[in-house]
Amino acid sequence: MAALLAAWAAAAAATGDGGEVAALARAWSGVRDSSEQVVMSVDEDAARWPQVNERRVRTIVAPVAVGWLGAEVLYLEEFLEDDPRDPLRQLLLALEPAGDGTSAVRARLYTFVHPHRWTHLNHRAALAAGITLADVAASAGCDLIFRRAGDQFRGGTVGQQCADTSSGVARYLDYQLVISPDIYWYRRRVLRQRDGELEQEIIGFNRFEPNEARLYACRIAWSASGSARDLQPLVTLDLY
């Protein structure tokens, strides 16, 4: 009897985790129009963004059938609203239970070796079916862990293992994302590996009319010496 109960409990847990995976896949799928803003950056390219460091980004997420990656696989494509032929980012997202004994969901990220070959993959089912291991590269250390909070899924990278290779300095990426029927919010931070110094912070949020709503990121820091170079972060508040 004990063995039977244990087997039933394990099956129920697996079913519950699978339910969360499917729920995240449904919540994430769709077309999102975002305003993306530079909060701070040491990168000169970011300072060239129009509209006071703001640009309009469209994100398309759609399920695709890539059986060897799992039952729930999503294709994500981001591009500037007025330039859909030149994506900023293309990813495959393989969703699965996090395996930590909770109902959390893990999203494993894969980039494309030749991205432009797979542009608009959400409309090319036959092409998606032919994706092989040689066509993609796993983004090691960049898994996103999601947990449900009401009608939202909140998730992001964990630790300092998601390497940023866009400069000659050893840096890591901290990415956080909130998904719900009404909200699509993300924050991308790039920090130096050696001391955790923030080098870039970008936020994206649902596009609103200018007088309808605003998003604020408030960072509070403290310095024991009174010197700006000794500032240590205490808390970050995201208000939207």
Place of tokens 């808390």: 235
Chain centroid, CA 218 distance in Å:
21
The pLDDT of residue 227: 81
The pLDDT of residue 226: 81
Identify the CATH number of the domain defined by range 2-208.
2.40.128.590
Q: Cα separation of 175 and 158, whole Å?
A: 9
**Burial classification of residue 141, based on how many CB atoms lie within 10 Å of its CB (0-12 exposed, 13-18 middle, 19 or more buried):** middle
The pLDDT of residue 82: 84
Q: Cα separation of 235 and 28, whole Å?
A: 28
pLDDT-flagged residues of the chain (< 70): 1-17, 44-53, 208-216, 237-240
Q: Report phi then psi at 229, rounded to 5.
A: -75, -10
The pLDDT of residue 50: 53
The pLDDT of residue 208: 65
**Burial classification of residue 77, based on how many CB atoms lie within 10 Å of its CB (0-12 exposed, 13-18 middle, 19 or more buried):** buried
The pLDDT of residue 17: 64
Count Cβ atoms below 10 Å from residue 127 Cβ, excluding itself.
13
Place of tokens 């995976």: 21
Q: Where are the domains positioned within the chain? A: 2-208
The pLDDT of residue 134: 98
* Number of separate helices (H) and strands (E) present in the chain: 4, 14
Q: Cα separation of 27 and 206, whole Å?
A: 15
Q: What's this model's pTM, rounded to 2 decimal places?
A: 0.77
The pLDDT of residue 223: 84
